[in-house]
Amino acid sequence: MGRPTAAAALLCQLGLSAAIQWLGLTESGSGVAWNESHHCRLLAGLVPDQFQMCRRNLEVMPSIVRAARHTKSSCQKTFADMRWNCSSIQRAPSFGPDLLRGTRESAFVYALAAAAITHSIAQACASGEVPLCSCGSVPSEVPGPDFRWGGCGDNLSYGLQLGAAFADSPLKSSKLGTQALKAMNLHNSAVGRQVLSDSLDTKCKCHGVSGSCSVKTCWKGLAKLDEIASDLKSKYLAAIKVTHRLIGPRKQLIPKEMEVRPVEETDLVYLINSPDYCTPNLHLGSLGTQDRRCNKTSVGSDSCNLLCCGRGYNTYTEEVVERCHCKYHWCCYVVCKKCRRKVERYVCK
Ligand SMILES: *[C@@H]1O[C@H](CO)[C@@H](O)[C@H](O)[C@H]1NC(C)=O
Ligand SMILES: *[C@@H]1O[C@H](CO)[C@@H](O)[C@H](O)[C@H]1NC(C)=O
Ligand SMILES: *[C@@H]1O[C@H](CO)[C@@H](O)[C@H](O)[C@H]1NC(C)=O
Ligand SMILES: *[C@@H]1O[C@H](CO)[C@@H](O)[C@H](O)[C@H]1NC(C)=O
């Protein structure tokens, strides 16, 4: 820290915008009918290739807007118990330095965003919302003895094709960031899509007399985005610090530390260390954890000890109102009373 090179690199990066600006579609893209090509101009921050894709695939835009919304909520939910809680994603299409530089946190967000867009398009195909694509094809595997293929599978291949083209085009075409940063973001986006693809699994629905399940119909469906986010969080915790170096004829991402195993296609990678997110440092994108609610009995990352970084916590009591003494009345409603209860809350000093 504080070395002239680091400071210069930081200034350089602060002037940049991120290749995940499309996450800002949650603001600009909701409530748009997406039936006229000039609607694409509403989206600040699309690169020219994305703008063209929008014009050519208007029907897919609602799924991309949905993907942006799911990326935000899933990131915040998955990191609610961590010092870094994914709050700067809320400001998309602007981001804090935590997501603009090559940090572990941006590795996670790029991977999640890439998975989300593919997920959303694959499911939109299956639901019949997008005329350009259809259900995933019937699997070539022989069905099990107790089921038959049917229903409508997620169209993963179409989701991958269009999702990758849309999410990665800022990284392939424009001047956003250094070569190293682009290589990092491309790698992490591919990891997100790989984790999503690996989640494709057989899902079934039972038929038969009163749920006897004598007949089952099955199809191939993707896991929920929250499950993908949780897988990616494990990869975030195990992410590898890399440098972009010339190996033979071309530059590659290789581990910074000699003794670390080579980077695999399923590893998240990052270029620079993150702050500890304990104390506020706007320059580094750390908001600090003061006033965050912690859990006194937990031993995990949301424990008062870890979340408050050893600073201690304040205790206050809060009155919560709950439904209680519920009675079922024939037929068919439930009446409850309201009970007040005092609970202790803990917030970081
Ligand atoms: C687009 O949708 C809006 C609202 O549903 C409608 O008023 C408008 O006429 C539509 N435009 C076209 C070209 O279909
Ligand atoms: C997905 O959609 C594409 C485009 O409509 C179609 O060609 C393909 O058969 C569909 N299914 C799969 C599994 O790719
Ligand atoms: C995340 O942490 C910041 C900083 O402590 C806090 O202001 C914000 O409310 C938190 N966001 C969420 C979604 O919990
Ligand atoms: C606190 O953590 C404990 C142990 O992990 C858990 O059982 C409890 O539900 C948590 N409390 C709150 C308020 O989240």
For residue 190, the cross-strand partners are: none
Q: How confident is the model at residue 24 (pLDDT cuts 50, 70, 90)?
A: confident
Q: How far, in Å, is the centroid of ligand 3 from the Cα of 315?
A: 18
What per-residue confidence (pLDDT) applies to 183? 92
* Model confidence at 16: pLDDT above 70: no
Higher pLDDT, 108 or 134: 108
Q: How far, in Å, is the centroid of ligand 2 from the Cα of 171?
A: 26
For residue 337, the cross-strand partners are: 324
Average pLDDT rounded to a whole number, residues 139-158: 84
| DSSP 8-state code for residue 42 | G
Protein residues with CB under 6 Å of any ligand 3 atom: 76, 80, 85, 87, 287, 289, 292
* Strand 215-221 relative to strand 201-207, pairing: antiparallel
pLDDT, one tens digit per residue, over 212-262 is 777 888 888 999 999 999 999 999 999 999 999 888 888 889 898 877 788
pLDDT, one tens digit per residue, over 175-197 is 667 889 999 999 999 999 999 99
What per-residue confidence (pLDDT) applies to 43? 72
Residue 225: partners with Cβ closer than 8 Å, 6 or more residues away: 70, 74, 112, 115, 116, 119
Average pLDDT rounded to a whole number, residues 269-273: 94
**Can you tell me whether residue 333 is helix, strand or coil?**
strand
* Model confidence at 291: pLDDT above 60: yes
Nearest listed ligand to the Cα of residue 31: 1
* Ligand 4 touching residue 298 (CB < 6 A): yes
State yes or no: cis peptide before 139, omega within 30 of 0.
no
Q: How far, in Å, is the centroid of ligand 4 from the Cα of 301?
A: 11
Pick the atom of ligand 2 nearest to 136's CA: 13
Q: How confident is the model at residue 15 (pLDDT cuts 50, 70, 90)?
A: very low
* Strand 215-221 relative to strand 148-149, pairing: parallel
Average pLDDT rounded to a whole number, residues 296-323: 93
Tell me which of 122-126, 178-182, 189-193, 343-347 is least confident.
Answer: 178-182
Mean pLDDT of the chain: 87
Q: How far, in Å, is the centroid of ligand 3 from the Cα of 85?
A: 6
Closest CA to 308 of 346, 334, 341, 339: 346
* Model confidence at 297: pLDDT above 90: yes
Nearest listed ligand to the Cα of residue 200: 2
Pick the atom of ligand 4 nearest to 299's CA: 5
Rounded to whole angstroms, the Cα distance separating 15 from 59 reads 34
Q: How far, in Å, is the centroid of ligand 4 from the Cα of 294?
A: 9
Rounded to whole angstroms, the Cα distance separating 86 from 98 reads 9
* Model confidence at 27: pLDDT above 80: no
User: Which residue's CA lies nearest to atom 11 of ligand 3?
Assistant: 87
* Model confidence at 295: pLDDT above 90: yes
Q: How far, in Å, is the centroid of ligand 4 from the Cα of 220?
A: 35
What pTM was estimated for this model as a whole? 0.88
What per-residue confidence (pLDDT) applies to 176? 66
Tell me which of 29-33, 91-95, 224-228, 316-320 is least confident.
Answer: 29-33
* Model confidence at 8: pLDDT above 50: no
Q: How far, in Å, is the centroid of ligand 1 from the Cα of 36?
A: 8
The one-letter amino acid at 311: R
Q: Name the percent of the chain lying above pLDDT 70.
A: 93
What per-residue confidence (pLDDT) applies to 348? 95
User: Which residue's CA lies nearest to atom 3 of ligand 4?
Assistant: 298
* Ligand 2 touching residue 155 (CB < 6 A): yes
Average pLDDT rounded to a whole number, residues 189-216: 87
pLDDT, one tens digit per residue, over 28-39 is 777 788 888 888
User: Which residue's CA lies nearest to atom 3 of ligand 1?
Assistant: 33
Q: What number does CATH give the domain 296-349? A: 3.30.2460.20
Q: Delimit the domains of the chain by residue range.
A: 6-288, 296-349
Q: How confident is the model at residue 205 (pLDDT cuts 50, 70, 90)?
A: confident
Query: Tokens 């440098």 belong to which residue?
Result: 243
* Ligand 2 touching residue 136 (CB < 6 A): yes
Average pLDDT rounded to a whole number, residues 273-301: 92
User: Which residue's CA lies nearest to atom 6 of ligand 3?
Assistant: 292
H or E stretch at 190:
helix 179-198
Contact criterion met (CB below 8 Å) for 347 and 311? no
H or E stretch at 345:
strand 333-348
User: Which residue's CA lies nearest to atom 5 of ligand 1?
Assistant: 33
The one-letter amino acid at 246: L
Q: How far, in Å, is the centroid of ligand 4 from the Cα of 179?
A: 44
Pick the atom of ligand 3 nearest to 290's CA: 5
Give the range with max mean pLDDT: 16-20, 88-92, 240-244.
240-244
Q: How far, in Å, is the centroid of ligand 3 from the Cα of 292?
A: 7
